[in-house]
Structure 1
Amino acid sequence: MSSPPVPPLPTVPLGALLARTELGLRQLTGPPADEVPVHSVHTSELSDPYPYLLGGELLLTAGVHAPEDTGTDAYYDGYVERIVAAGAAALGFGVAPVHDTVPSGLVAACERHRLALVEVPEETTFSAVGRALWDLMTAVRHLELRRVTEAQQGLATAAARPDPVPAVLRQLAQRTGGFAVLLGPDGTEPQRAGAPPSEAAEAALADLVRVVRPATTRLFPTPASASDEVGGVQLSAYALGGSDGRALGLATGARAPGDHTIAGVAVVLLSLLQGEHQSTGDVRRSAALVRLLLGDGPGDAAGLLDAPGGWRVVHGTAQGTRPVPPLGTPLVDATGSLLRALVPADLDVVAHDGWTLGVSAPAGPGELRSASVQAGHALARARALRTPLVRHRADTPPPSLTALSDRPELRRTLRTWLSLHGSWDRTATALGVHRNTVRQRIAKCGVLISADLDDPDIRMELWFALRDLP
C-alpha cells in the first residue's frame, strides 16, 4: 500500500519532542524516534479517526473510545490499522483520566503495525505537547528559510562567475545534497555535478527528463516539470524554457520543503544563461549601463551606443493612459504619464496622438545633460501652446517667407500685426479691415510659413525678415 501524501511542511523528528524533558514523554514501541517525522499534532477520541487525518500527525488520545471493559486486542488492532492506513506518524496515549496505564493490547497492536507509541503522563496536557511541537517546527522552519536564502545567494553568485553554468549546477547539487544534470537541445549531457545515484535511479532520471523535453508527436502540451521516486531517491526534471529541449534533472536522497524553491531559482538562472545570446545592440547597451553603475561619466557610457551622429533628447507627457509612442529607439524611460528618451539624431521625431513632446537639438555624448534641459524647456512650451510637438529653437529652421512672396496682402498684414505687438484691434484699425479678417490672415501666414507665431523669438526673426521685403 502506498503511503498517503503528507502536508508540505517542515517536519520534526519524534525524538526531538521526546527530548523535551518538561513533557515527560516516553516511547513504548515502534521505530526509532529519530526516524519518525512528525508534521503536526491532532487530538481525537473517535474510534476511527481516519477521515480526519492528513498524514504525518502525532495522534493524541486518552482512550475515551475504548474504556477498560470494552477494549480488546481485536479492537486495538483494528484501531491501529486504520491509523497507519491514514498515514499518522505516531500515537500518543494519555494515561488519565480513563486509563491508569497504556493498555497492553494497544502496545501489542502498535508493535505489530510498526507504529510509534508514546506514553503521555498525567501531568502533561495535550495542548502542551502541541505547543512544544509548534515551537520545534518554528525553529525548523526558520532554519529552512535560512538555508533557502543562503542557497539563493550562492546560486546568484555562481551565475556571475566566468563559467556560470557549471558553477550553478555545482551549487544546486551542493545545496540539495544531490546530483544535477543538464541536457542540451539534442539530448546530450553537457554538464553534471554531484555524486551520481544508483544506476537504476540515474536511468529513471534520464527517462523523467524526456517527459519535459518537447516531442513533435506528443498529443498534449509538454509539462514544465515532473517528479518520481526510485529506491528512496527523489527525482525531479525541469524544462529550461524555450522550445529547444534543454532540461535539468535533479536526484536527491530526501526532499526537504525548501528544495523545490532552490531548484526553481536554479531553473530560472539556467534558462537565462542557456537562452539566446544578446544582440550586438543589447550587449553595447548593457556595457554602457555597467560603466555608469561603476562610476564612469555619461560621455564614456554613451560612446558605446550606436549613434555616430549624436542624439536628441525627447521629453513627453501623456494625455491620460497612453502606450509609449514608437520613437525608433529602445532607450526609453517611461514612468506613468512621463517619458524621457534618447533618439539618434538622424531619426526624425514626429508628433504622436495623445502625447505632448519636447525635442532637443542634436547633442554629443558629453552634451546630453544640456540636451535634456533643452527638451524640458521645449516640452514646457508645447504644453503652454497646446501643441503636440515643439523642438528646441536651435534645432528649428528659421521661418521662410518664400510662401508669402506672391501674397502681398498677407505680408502687409503680418508686418503691421508684428509692429503693433500682436494687437488684433489696432491692426484691424490700421488696415481698415475687420479684426476677424486679421485673425484669419495671421492664421494663414502661420500655416504657409510653418512657424509658431506665438513664439516671441519667431516673431523677432520674422520682423527683421519683413523689414527688407516690399
Structure 2
Amino acid sequence: MPIPPAGTPQATPPPGPPSGPPTPPIPLAELLAREELGLRRIAGPADADLLWVHTSEMADPYPYLLGGELLLSAGVLLTDPDHYVGRLVEAGAAALGFGVRPVHETVPAALIEACDRYGLPLLEVPPETPFTAIARAVWRLMAEARHRELRRVTRAQQALATAAARPDPVPAVLHQLATQLGGRAVLLTARGEEVHAAGRTPTEKVHAAGRAPTEGPSEAGRARTKEPSAVGRARTGEPSAAGRARTGEPSAAGRHPAPRTAAALTRLARVVARGRPGSPTSATDTHGDTHLAAYALGGGEGLVLALATRRREPGDHTVAGIAVVLLSLLAAPHQGADAAGRSAALVRMLLGASPAEVAPLLGATGPWTVIHARRTNGAPADALTAGALGASLGTALVDAGRGDGEPVRVLLPGAPGTDPDPPSAEPGTGTGSRTATSLEPTRVTPQPGTGTASHTATDPEPVRTSTGSGTGTGTGHAPDRVTPQPGWTLGASAPTPVTALDSADHLAARALAHAQATRAPLTTDAPASGLAALVPPEQAAAHARALLAPLTTPLADTLRCWLSLHGNWDRTAVALAVHRNTVRQRIGRCGELLAMDLDDMDARAELWFALRQG
C-alpha cells in the first residue's frame, strides 16, 4: 500500500467502521499504575480509555488507526508535531506513548505543547521499557477487564432469567434490569405510553442539552468513529459530537428534573418504534450527564425498552440485550397460532362461523381446555401479566378480563389426535358428574398480616373433593399441559370438544372457586360418572341457590373449605389463615342460618352437593 504524502492528509478518506473491540476499554490510569513500565504522563488529560495498542513510525498514521489506540512511537519521522498530533486526534487516538532514545534524548517541547493544546494524553516511555512490554501489559489488563465483564454479564443473565420465571415476569425483569444497570428501565408502547417501569430516573447535571439521538444496533460501531471529538467518547460508548444540534449551554450547576429526562427518554423510544422500513432497532443519546438508550422489542407489538442510567459501563449493552430478548418473549404473542390465523378466526366468528369451523385456524384439532385464573395475592392482572401466564401454559388465547374482578380466562388448544376423557355424556347435559382435585399435594402456610396463604408441595395428603354421591372420593386429572403456576390460582376444565366450550367455561369457573376456597394452586373440574349426574344441572343449581341463600360469601367459603377437609378445625383454620375459634364461630353460624345439624352426615352430604353447584 503506498504511503500518502504528509502534505495531503485531507484527501485521505476515513476507512469504514471495523469490527468491535474484543475487550472492554482500559482506563489509562490502570496502565500508568504499572510501576514496572515506568510510564509518566507529561501532557494532556488523565481520563482517557484505551481500546487498542499500536506501534507506528509513520509521519501520518491516520489511515491505519481505528480510534481509541494508545499509539507508540519513537518519533523517527516526526517533523511537524502540531500537524502530527492534530491528525492523531482526527483519527480518534486515545493517547500517545513517546519513547526517548535513541532518536530523541527527551520528549520534544513542541510535541508536549501540541498534546496539551489538542487534549491528547502524552506518555513518556523510558529507554529501558520496550514497546512490546507496554503492549503486553495493555492486553493483560484487557483480558482481566474482559473476565470481569463476562462474570458480571453471567450474573446479570442469571438474575434476569430468574426474574422472568416469577409470577409478574415483565415488572420483575424491568426491576432486575434497573438494579443491574443502576438506573431506570421503562417499557413503552409505540405511542410513548408507559406500560411498566422500575428504578429511579437519575437527576442529571446539565452541561449541554438538545442532542439528537444516535441511532444504530450497537455501540461498537460508534466507538470507532473518525471524529475529532472521539477522544474520550469512543471508549465509553457515548455518541460522538458529529450530528448533534446544540440548542443552548446551561450552566453546569443547573439540573434537569426527572420529568425532563422521562420526556427525552420517550422521544428517543419513538425513534425505534416508528415501524417504518429501515428503522433502527436501537438508539442512544445523552441528556445532561444521563445516558439514554432505547431498544425495539421483537414480536411486532411496537413495544420499546427505554433505559436511563448515570453511567455506561462495559457489558451494559449486553445485559440490556438479554433483557430485550426476555421481554420480547414475554410480551409477544405465542407462536403456536400465527397472527394471520387468529385474525382469520376472529373475522369468521364475527361473520357467523361456528367454533368448530374456526378452531383449526387457531392451530388445534384436538380437545380444548378452559382455564380460569386469579392472582394468588388478589392483585389485578394486566394484559402483559395475563399474556405471560398464557405463554407459560403454551397458548396465546388469553382474555385478561375487564379488570373489575373478572378472572383471566385461557383457552388451551389440544394436540391433534388427542381425545377428551371419555365421559358418560357431554359436560353440562345432566348425564355426567364432576370431580375436583388439586394436582399436587399442598401444604398451606398463612402469611403473617396478609390473610393469604402460600403453597408448598410437601404435605403428603392432597386436597381432594369427594364426589356428589358421598360414597367415596374421586381424583379427576387435569390435562397434562396444565401445571400449577407460581403466583396464580387456577381452575381448569377437562379436555373438552370445541362444541362444548360453554359448559367447559362454567366448569372452569367452579373449579377456580373451589381452588380459592381450599387454597389449592390448581383444581380441575372434570366430567365423570356419579350420582350427581342423575340431577339435571338447572334443578341442582336452583336447589343450591335456595338452600344456601342465608349464607354470606365468607360463610359459604368457610363451609366449603371445612367440608372439603372433613370437618377438621385446625386444617381449615390454616387453609383460611384464620384462628380455629373463628372457624368454629363461622360453622356454628352456618348451622344456625341453615337450621341444620352440621354434625349429621346427611346434612353434610346435602350441603356439599349444593356447594358443588355454585
The offset of 1:272, in angstroms, is: 2.5
Task: Rate the CA distance shift 1:192–1:308 in 2: closer, same or farther, 3 A.
Answer: closer
Q: Tell me how far apart the structure 2 counterparts of residues 284 and 162 of structure 1 sit (CA, whole Å).
A: 24
Deviations 1:274-296 (A, max 9, x none): 234334454999xxxx97xx999
User: Which SS does the other structure have where 1:130 is aligned?
Assistant: helix
Aligned to 1:84: 89
Give the counterpart of 1:206 among 266, 288, 301. Answer: 266
The offset of 1:232, in angstroms, is: 4.4
State whether residues 25 and 121 of structure 1, in contact with CA within 8 Å, keep that contact through their aligned partners in structure 2: yes
Give the counterpart of 2:62 among 29, 50, 55. Answer: 50
The offset of 1:151, in angstroms, is: 0.5
Aligned to 2:168: 163
Task: Rate the CA distance shift 1:282–1:123 in 2: closer, same or farther, 3 A.
Answer: farther
Aligned to 1:21: 35
Q: Does residue 191 in structure 1 map to residue 203 in structure 2? A: no
Matches within 5 A, 1:13-412: 13-32=27-46, 35-66=47-78, 71=79, 75-184=80-189, 187-197=192-202, 198=204, 199=256, 200-214=260-274, 218=276, 220-276=277-333, 277=387, 278=390, 279=397, 280=410, 282=412
Q: Which has the higher helix share?
A: 1
Aligned to 1:411: none
- TM-score norm. by structure 1 comes to 0.56
State whether residues 297 and 328 of structure 2, in contact with CA within 8 Å, keep that contact through their aligned partners in structure 1: yes
Q: Tell me how far apart the structure 1 counterparts of residues 178 and 126 of structure 2 sit (CA, whole Å).
A: 45
Aligned to 1:333: none
Task: Rate the CA distance shift 1:300–1:96 in 2: closer, same or farther, 3 A.
Answer: farther
Aligned to 1:426: none
The offset of 1:308, in angstroms, is: 6.0
User: Which SS does the other structure have where 1:190 is aligned?
Assistant: strand
Task: Rate the CA distance shift 1:302–1:41 in 2: closer, same or farther, 3 A.
Answer: same
- TM-score norm. by structure 2 comes to 0.43
Deviations 1:403-425 (A, max 9, x none): xxxxxxxxxxxxxxxxxxxxxxx
Aligned to 1:345: none
Task: Rate the CA distance shift 1:110–1:222 in 2: closer, same or farther, 3 A.
Answer: closer
User: Which SS does the other structure have where 2:35 is aligned?
Assistant: coil
User: Which SS does the other structure have where 2:174 is aligned?
Assistant: helix
Task: Rate the CA distance shift 1:303–1:119 in 2: closer, same or farther, 3 A.
Answer: closer
The offset of 1:303, in angstroms, is: 6.0
Q: Tell me how far apart the structure 2 counterparts of residues 120 and 114 of structure 1 sit (CA, whole Å).
A: 19
State whether residues 284 and 304 of structure 1, in contact with CA within 8 Å, keep that contact through their aligned partners in structure 2: no
Aligned to 2:559: none
Unaligned runs of 5+ in 2: 1-13, 205-255, 334-386, 391-396, 398-409, 416-438, 441-456, 461-475, 483-492, 498-614
Aligned length: 292
Task: Rate the CA distance shift 1:126–1:183 in 2: closer, same or farther, 3 A.
Answer: same
The offset of 1:250, in angstroms, is: 1.1
Q: Tell me how far apart the structure 2 counterparts of residues 104 and 222 of structure 1 sit (CA, whole Å).
A: 50
User: Which SS does the other structure have where 1:193 is aligned?
Assistant: strand
The offset of 1:49, in angstroms, is: 0.9
Matches within 5 A, 1:387-466: none
The offset of 1:252, in angstroms, is: 2.6
Deviations 1:168-214 (A, max 9, x none): 11211121222211114653213222231445543332111112224
Q: Tell me how far apart the structure 1 counterparts of residues 158 and 305 of structure 2 sit (CA, whole Å).
A: 20
Match for 1:24: what amino acid?
A: G
User: Which SS does the other structure have where 1:202 is aligned?
Assistant: helix
Q: Tell me how far apart the structure 2 counterparts of residues 11 and 281 of structure 1 sit (CA, whole Å).
A: 51
Q: Which has the higher contact order (CA 8 A, sep 6+)?
A: 2
The offset of 1:224, in angstroms, is: 2.9
Task: Rate the CA distance shift 1:281–1:60 in 2: closer, same or farther, 3 A.
Answer: same
Q: Tell me how far apart the structure 2 counterparts of residues 244 and 86 of structure 1 sit (CA, whole Å).
A: 41
Q: Tell me how far apart the structure 2 counterparts of residues 266 and 258 of structure 1 sit (CA, whole Å).
A: 13
Q: Tell me how far apart the structure 1 counterparts of residues 30 and 113 of structure 2 sit (CA, whole Å).
A: 24
Aligned to 1:381: none
Deviations 1:308-358 (A, max 9, x none): 699xxxxxxxxxxxxxxxxxxxxxxxxxxxxxxxxxxxxxxxxxxxxxxxx
Task: Rate the CA distance shift 1:244–1:112 in 2: closer, same or farther, 3 A.
Answer: same
Match for 2:271: what amino acid?
A: V
Root-mean-square deviation (CA, aligned residues, Å) is: 3.5
Match for 1:39: what amino acid?
A: L
Task: Rate the CA distance shift 1:191–1:11 in 2: closer, same or farther, 3 A.
Answer: same
State whether residues 59 and 88 of structure 1, in contact with CA within 8 Å, keep that contact through their aligned partners in structure 2: yes
State whether residues 187 and 245 of structure 1, in contact with CA within 8 Å, keep that contact through their aligned partners in structure 2: no
Q: Tell me how far apart the structure 1 counterparts of residues 200 and 104 of structure 2 sit (CA, whole Å).
A: 52
User: Which SS does the other structure have where 1:63 is aligned?
Assistant: coil
Match for 2:110: what amino acid?
A: G
User: Which SS does the other structure have where 2:37 is aligned?
Assistant: coil
Q: Tell me how far apart the structure 2 counterparts of residues 283 and 228 of structure 1 sit (CA, whole Å).
A: 45
State whether residues 99 and 126 of structure 2, in contact with CA within 8 Å, keep that contact through their aligned partners in structure 1: yes
The offset of 1:62, in angstroms, is: 0.6
Task: Rate the CA distance shift 1:183–1:123 in 2: closer, same or farther, 3 A.
Answer: same
Q: Tell me how far apart the structure 1 counterparts of residues 285 and 319 of structure 2 sit (CA, whole Å).
A: 18
Q: Tell me how far apart the structure 1 counterparts of residues 70 and 306 of structure 2 sit (CA, whole Å).
A: 34
Q: Tell me how far apart the structure 2 counterparts of residues 19 and 151 of structure 1 sit (CA, whole Å).
A: 30
Q: Tell me how far apart the structure 2 counterparts of residues 84 and 234 of structure 1 sit (CA, whole Å).
A: 24
Deviations 1:240-291 (A, max 9, x none): 2333322111123343342222111111222222234334454999xxxx97
Q: Tell me how far apart the structure 2 counterparts of residues 18 and 65 of structure 1 sit (CA, whole Å).
A: 26
Unaligned runs of 5+ in 1: 311-470
Q: Tell me how far apart the structure 1 counterparts of residues 86 and 496 of structure 2 sit (CA, whole Å).
A: 83
Aligned to 1:367: none
Q: Does residue 10 in structure 1 map to residue 31 in structure 2? A: no
